[in-house]
Amino acid sequence: MDELVGLAAPGWLLILGAPLVLFLPRRVMQTLLLLLPVLGLVQVLRMPLGTEWVVEAYGYSLMPIRADELARVFAVVFHIAAFLSMLFALHLRDRRQHAAALVYAGSAIAALYAGDLVTLFVYWELTAVSSVVLVWARERPRAFRAGVRYLVIQVLSGVVLMAGAIYQLRESGSLDFVPMDLGSTAGMLLFVAFGIKAAFPLLHNWLQDSYPEATPTGTVFLSAFTTKLAIYALARGFAGTEILIPIGAAMTAFPIFFAVIENDLRRVLAYSLNNQLGYMVVGIGIGTELALNGAAAHAFAHILYKGLLFMSMGAVLRRVGTCLGSELGGLYKAMPRTTIFCMVGAASISAFPLTSGFVAKGMILAAAAEEHHTITFLILLFASAGVFHHSGIKIPYFAFFAHDHGVRHRQVTEKTPRNMVLAMAIASFLCIAIGAVPGPLYSILPYPVDFHPYTTSHVITQLQLLLYSALAFVFLQKTKLYPPELRSTVLDTDWSYRKAAPWLLGHIGHAVETVLGRGRALVVGTHTRTLSFVRRLHTPGGPLGDPWPTGLTVFVAALLLAAYLVLYYL
Model confidence at 407: pLDDT above 60: no
Per the CB < 8 A criterion, the answer to whether 199 and 227 are in contact is yes
pLDDT of residue 248: 94
Report CA-CA distances (Å) from 339 to 172, 236, 352.
Answer: 54, 38, 17
Query: What percentage of the chain reaches a pLDDT higher than 90?
Result: 50
pLDDT per residue as tens digits for the range 522-552: 888 888 888 887 777 777 766 666 676 777 7
Query: If DSSP states are collapsed to H, E and C, what string results for 371-431?
Result: CCCHHHHHHHHHHHHHHHHHHHHHHHHHHHHCCCCCHHHHCCCCCCCHHHHHHHHHHHHHH
Question: Is 254 in contact with 205 (CB distance < 8 Å)?
Answer: no
Q: What is the pLDDT of residue 5?
A: 42
The mean pLDDT value for 69-97 works out to 94
pLDDT at 8 over 70: no
The residues, any chain, with a CB within 8 Å of residue 541's CB and separated by 6 or more, are none
- What is the pLDDT, as a whole number, of residue 513? 86
Residue 492 has pLDDT above 90, yes or no: no
Classify 559 as helix, strand or coil: helix
**What pLDDT is recorded for position 545?**
67
Enter the pTM of the model.
0.86
Residue 4 scores a pLDDT above 50: no
Q: What is the pLDDT of residue 160?
A: 95
> What is residue 54's DSSP assignment?
E
Nearest to 275 by CA among 291, 256, 292, 293: 256
Asked if pLDDT for residue 111 goes beyond 90, the answer is yes
Q: What is the mean pLDDT of residues 306-334?
A: 87
pLDDT of residue 66: 92
Give me the pLDDT at residue 1, please.
Answer: 38
Q: Residue 568: is its pLDDT beyond 90?
A: no
User: Residue 544: what pLDDT?
Assistant: 65
Tell me, what amino acid is at 4?
L
Q: What integer best gives the mean pLDDT of the chain? A: 87
Residue 74 has pLDDT above 90, yes or no: yes
pLDDT at residue 472 greater than cutoff 50: yes
Amino acid occupying residue 44? V
Nearest to 323 by CA among 253, 267, 260, 242: 267
Half-sphere exposure of 269 (CA within 13 A, CB side): 35
432-452 pLDDT tens trace: 999 999 999 999 999 998 888
HEC string of 210-275? Answer: HHHHCCCCHHHHHHHHHHHHHHHHHHHHCCCCCCHHHHHHHHHHHHHHHHHHCCEHHHHHHHHHHH
Closest CA to 552 of 540, 544, 542, 563: 544
**What pLDDT shows up at residue 238?**
94
The top-scoring range by mean pLDDT among 177-181, 257-261, 397-401 is 177-181
pLDDT in the model for residue 557? 82
- Per-residue pLDDT at 102 exceeds 50: yes
User: What local confidence, expressed as pLDDT, does residue 463 receive?
Assistant: 84
Q: Residue 170: is its pLDDT beyond 60?
A: yes
What whole-number percentage of the chain has pLDDT above 70? 91
pLDDT value of position 2? 43
Would you state the pLDDT for residue 558? 85
Confidence of residue 328 (pLDDT cuts 50, 70, 90): confident
Q: What is the mean pLDDT of residues 256-275?
A: 86
- 51 pLDDT band, cuts 50/70/90, is confident
Q: Which pLDDT does position 553 carry in this prediction?
A: 75
Rg (CA), the chain: 31
State residue 454 phi and psi, 5-degree precision: -95, 60
Query: What average pLDDT does this structure show over 270-277?
Result: 91
